[in-house]
Homo-oligomer: A and B are copies of this chain.
Amino acid sequence: MLNIGILGATGYAGEELIDILLKHKYARIAYLAAKIDQPDNISSIFPKFKGRIDLVCTEPKLDEIIAKCDLVFLALPHTQSFGIVPKLLKAGKRVIDLSADYRLKDIPVYEKFYKVVHADKDNVKKAVYGLPEFYREEIKAAKLIANPGCYPTAAILATAPVLISGLVEEDCIFIDAKSGVSGAGRRAVNDLMFTEVNENFKAYKVNVHQHMPEIDQELSGVSKKTIKTNFVPHLLPVNRGILETIYFKLKKSADQKQVLDIYKRFYKKEPFVRVLDEGKNPQLKDVVYTNYCDIAVNVDPEKKTLIVVAAIDNLKKGASGQAVQNMNIMHGFAESEGLV
Contacts and interface: CB of A to CB of B under 8 A. Distances in A.
A207 interface: yes
Interface in A190-216: 190, 192-204, 206-207
A292 interface: yes
B300 A204 contact: no
Contacts of A284: 199-202
Contact of A307 (B50, B204, B228, B232): B232
Interface of A: 12, 22-23, 46-48, 50-52, 171-172, 174, 176, 178, 181-182, 186-190, 192-204, 206-207, 228, 230, 232, 234, 236-241, 243, 245, 247, 249, 271, 274, 276, 280-290, 292, 294, 298, 300, 302-303, 305, 307, 309, 340
Nearest to A281: B203
Contacts of A171: 303
B199 A197 contact: no
15 contacts: A22-B340, A47-B276, A47-B280, A48-B287, A176-B247, A181-B195, A192-B195, A193-B193, A196-B285, A198-B239, A199-B284, A201-B236, A202-B283, A230-B247, A247-B247
Given A245-B176, A280-B47, A201 B309 contact: no
In order of increasing CB-CB distance, the 8 nearest A-B pairs are A202-B283, A48-B286, A174-B247, A176-B176, A194-B197, A200-B285, A206-B298, A47-B286
B48 A207 contact: no
A230 to B, nearest CB: 5
Contacts of A307: 174, 206-207, 230, 232
A285 B247 CA distance: 27
Contacts of A186: 190, 193, 195
A61 to B, nearest CB: 25
Nearest to A198: B239
A162 B237 CA distance: 31
A34 B20 CA distance: 32
A12 B182 CA distance: 25
Contacts of A196: 194, 285
